[in-house]
A and B are shown apart, each in its own frame.
Chain A
Amino acid sequence: MHCTNNNVYRIEHLTKSYDNKLLANDDISLHIRRGEILGLFGANGSGKTTLVKQLIGLLSPTSGHVYLEEKSISDPQCHISRSVAYQGQNNASFGAFSFSELMIHTGIYRGLTLHEAKAEAHKLVSYFECSKISNRLRYQLSGGERKLSIVLCAFMAQRPVVILDEPSNDLDPFHRGQLWSYMRKLCKETGVTFILVTHNIDEAEDLVDRVAVMKQGRLIACSTVGDLKALYHDDVTVDLILKHGEEIKLPADAIHVQSNHWKFILPKEKAFAMLNELFQQDGHKIDDFRISKATLTEAYSSVVGEKSVSHE
């Protein structure tokens, strides 16, 4: 990619509606910068997958434009598949391939020789410490292991842009950690641009450079993690855990997390005053409490107008 422009993708007033008139993407404009990790967040059905499918040309927009390296993706000169690697939600397929074979074939389809593809697959298998399962057929693997092999395919024959659609779903914590660290490594060492669609917002907090939030087909926020969290700049989260079977009178905006666990998001000064009051009245009923700064999940929940309960 020989382009001095800082944006890899330029999305202009992108709208996509399906046959049943469902508006999946509504007037989205967004620039994706070279070498950044962009987190694309939103509830199920908010239009994230529809958006990424238009970025890779699997769906054509109803109106608006997508430019990759300043070339419209509908332009025959725009070789999306040579510039962008995509990991979609096709975990159940390719049961007759072994874990490594799928990666090797992907490498070959992207232009590597068999020898090169084998060497790259071996490196990835070593990095993700999955050599024990590398020769097993995918239909014999667990859901998480199958997911890992599909995710690793996205890293074969490295592309300048990698789009990962919910890559960490089903992965165990170790491989999720390995995935985030490998992405950071690629980004730092080779300047790969990542578009990461995920629901694991708190885990992605340390990884992403910018966050784009979608709701009902619209892009409702796009900023750095810091800016998004600044919406809460004075707010803190108070987690309050009551002793088993105890009840106390709580403020109306308390969020019930589970059985005896409640959560409040409020300005710092108010948090201390509230805790003081609660301890004076019903301190013996409180088992534990915790005060923490707002997380990205809470900032995200605030933006989309949902009460956050995912802190745990």
Chain B
Amino acid sequence: MSNQVKRIKRALYETYFLFLGRCYNLRLQWFWYVVMLSISPLSYLFFLLFYNNGIQGNELGIYAFSGSIAASAVTSAMLSLGQTIGGLREGNAMEFYSTLPISKLRFIFALSLEGILFSLPSSLIVFIMGSLFLETDALARIPYLLIAYFVSAFSLAGVGAFIGFSGKTPQSVSLATQVISPFIVLFAPVYLPIEKLPFFFQFTSRFIPTTYSARAMRVTMGYGDFSTFWIDILILLGFSVLCLYGAVRKAKWRVTSSDAY
């Protein structure tokens, strides 16, 4: 086996065990994960459906369902990373990880996967509900949804990691991630068509990944031109690479950077 293959195998092995270690938390917190991740998006959906905000008919439903999934996808890893790293730092547990020869990138990746794992089931339920409710053929596009969901989740994972590593206290980390979330959801065409946003936000939303995530989600639900799907995925991948690179470069881990990649 070549060294390159060995390294890739080892990287996957390490990432799996980092992820598995995070999943042990389900032993203690599974009930609250189920409650938080099921009740919250569903109540959000009902709110949007009952309080019509000017978008009529089928379009309202599409925006409501796809927006909910996009918001959940983009914020899941970011919130999970920020708050988990903040919590680990508070209990000095971050010292445990940062003194081991593990890669910072793989650590961020494993924590992002944890956030995705805990948010994906509820989003899938919303997607299936939406597909049935709107009578679309979206169920056949679940693989596309998964692709869009994972890429969306990683698009701001680096931001969550950076906040988690850089915040002065776990409380400030938690606050920072929660302050960012409404901005990236409400100031982008997630629940509304872009024309409904003020002109300034129509421009700034181009720099927010939720714009592309929501468009990709709408396409998977059968609304809009499918040819934009892969373009949106590429843009989201660009956000992911940029944010993760920035987080790995800038986030405080230990003095040397030899294990950063």
Residues in A lying within 8 Å of B, measured CB to CB? 56-60, 73-82, 84-86, 88-90, 92-97, 101, 105-106, 108-111, 113-114, 137, 139, 153
The residue that B99 contacts in the complex, of A58, A60, A77, with Cβ under 8 A, is: A58
Judged by a CB distance under 8 angstroms, whether B45 is at the interface is no
Q: Which of B28, B97, B99 has the most CB of A within 10 A?
A: B99
* Contact yes or no, A73 B255, CB < 8 A: yes
* Residues in A whose Cβ lies below 8 Å from that of B100: 81, 106, 109-110
User: A94-B93, A139-B28 given as contacts; is B101 within 8 A of A105 (CB)?
Assistant: no
User: A60-B255, A108-B13, A109-B17 given as contacts; is B101 within 8 A of A93 (CB)?
Assistant: no
A240 to B214 alpha-carbon distance, docked (Å)? 81
* Contact yes or no, A89 B92, CB < 8 A: yes
The residue that A57 contacts in the complex, of B14, B20, B93, B255, with Cβ under 8 A, is: B255
* Residues in B whose Cβ lies below 8 Å from that of A137: 27-28
Q: Which of B21, B28, B88, B92 has the most CB of A within 10 A?
A: B21
* Contact yes or no, B27 A92, CB < 8 A: no
A94 to B93 alpha-carbon distance, docked (Å)? 8
* Residues in A whose Cβ lies below 8 Å from that of B28: 95-96, 137, 139
A106 to B88 alpha-carbon distance, docked (Å)? 16
* Residues in B whose Cβ lies below 8 Å from that of A78: 256, 258
* Residues in A whose Cβ lies below 8 Å from that of B92: 88-90, 93
A60 to B21 alpha-carbon distance, docked (Å)? 29
- Residues of B230-261 whose CB lies within 8 A of A: 254-259
A79 to B18 alpha-carbon distance, docked (Å)? 20
* Residues in A whose Cβ lies below 8 Å from that of B96: 88, 90, 93-94, 153
* Residues in B whose Cβ lies below 8 Å from that of A105: 17, 20-21
* Residues in B whose Cβ lies below 8 Å from that of A111: 10, 101
* Contact yes or no, A75 B256, CB < 8 A: yes
A307 to B257 alpha-carbon distance, docked (Å)? 45
Judged by a CB distance under 8 angstroms, whether B225 is at the interface is no
User: Closest residue to B28 on the A side, CB-wise?
Assistant: A96
User: Closest residue to A101 on the B side, CB-wise?
Assistant: B24
Judged by a CB distance under 8 angstroms, whether B181 is at the interface is no
User: A56-B254, A96-B28 given as contacts; is B101 within 8 A of A110 (CB)?
Assistant: yes
User: Closest residue to B106 on the A side, CB-wise?
Assistant: A109
The residue that A86 contacts in the complex, of B91, B95, B257, B259, with Cβ under 8 A, is: B95
Question: Chain A interface mostly helix, strand, loop or mixed?
Answer: loop
Q: List 18 A-B contacts (CB under 8 A).
A: A57-B99, A57-B254, A58-B98, A58-B254, A76-B256, A76-B257, A77-B258, A81-B102, A84-B99, A85-B99, A89-B92, A92-B91, A94-B93, A101-B24, A105-B17, A109-B102, A113-B13, A139-B28
* Residues in A whose Cβ lies below 8 Å from that of B91: 90, 92-93
User: Closest residue to B25 on the A side, CB-wise?
Assistant: A96
* Residues in A whose Cβ lies below 8 Å from that of B25: 96
List the count of A-B residue pairs having beta carbons below 8 Å apart.
94
Interface string of B1-22 (1 = CB under 8 A from A): 0000000001001100110110
The residue that A73 contacts in the complex, of B17, B21, B256, with Cβ under 8 A, is: B256
* Contact yes or no, A93 B93, CB < 8 A: yes
A81 to B17 alpha-carbon distance, docked (Å)? 18
* Contact yes or no, A109 B24, CB < 8 A: no
User: A96-B24, A137-B27 given as contacts; is B256 within 8 A of A74 (CB)?
Assistant: yes
- Shortest CB-to-CB span from A86 to chain B, Å, is 4
User: Closest residue to A138 on the B side, CB-wise?
Assistant: B24
* Contact yes or no, A88 B99, CB < 8 A: yes
* Residues in B whose Cβ lies below 8 Å from that of A74: 255-256
User: Closest residue to B254 on the A side, CB-wise?
Assistant: A57
- Shortest CB-to-CB span from A101 to chain B, Å, is 7
- Shortest CB-to-CB span from A141 to chain B, Å, is 14
* Contact yes or no, A97 B101, CB < 8 A: no
* Contact yes or no, B254 A97, CB < 8 A: no
* Contact yes or no, A58 B258, CB < 8 A: no
* Contact yes or no, B256 A108, CB < 8 A: no
User: A57-B255, A60-B255, A109-B100 given as contacts; is B14 within 8 A of A93 (CB)?
Assistant: no
User: Closest residue to A54 on the B side, CB-wise?
Assistant: B255
- Shortest CB-to-CB span from A161 to chain B, Å, is 12
* Contact yes or no, A108 B254, CB < 8 A: no
- Shortest CB-to-CB span from A159 to chain B, Å, is 10
A95 to B28 alpha-carbon distance, docked (Å)? 9
The residue that B259 contacts in the complex, of A73, A79, A89, with Cβ under 8 A, is: A79
A263 to B25 alpha-carbon distance, docked (Å)? 52
User: Closest residue to A60 on the B side, CB-wise?
Assistant: B255
* Contact yes or no, A97 B21, CB < 8 A: yes
User: Closest residue to B107 on the A side, CB-wise?
Assistant: A109
Given contacts A58-B255, A73-B256, 9 further A-B contacts (CB under 8 A): A57-B254, A88-B92, A90-B92, A90-B96, A96-B24, A96-B28, A105-B21, A109-B97, A153-B96
* Residues in B whose Cβ lies below 8 Å from that of A106: 100
- Shortest CB-to-CB span from A214 to chain B, Å, is 20
> Which 7 pairs from chain A and chain B are nearest by CB?
A93-B93, A90-B92, A96-B24, A57-B255, A93-B91, A81-B101, A57-B254
Interface string of B48-74 (1 = CB under 8 A from A): 000000000000000000000000000
User: A96-B27, A109-B102 given as contacts; is B95 within 8 A of A76 (CB)?
Assistant: no
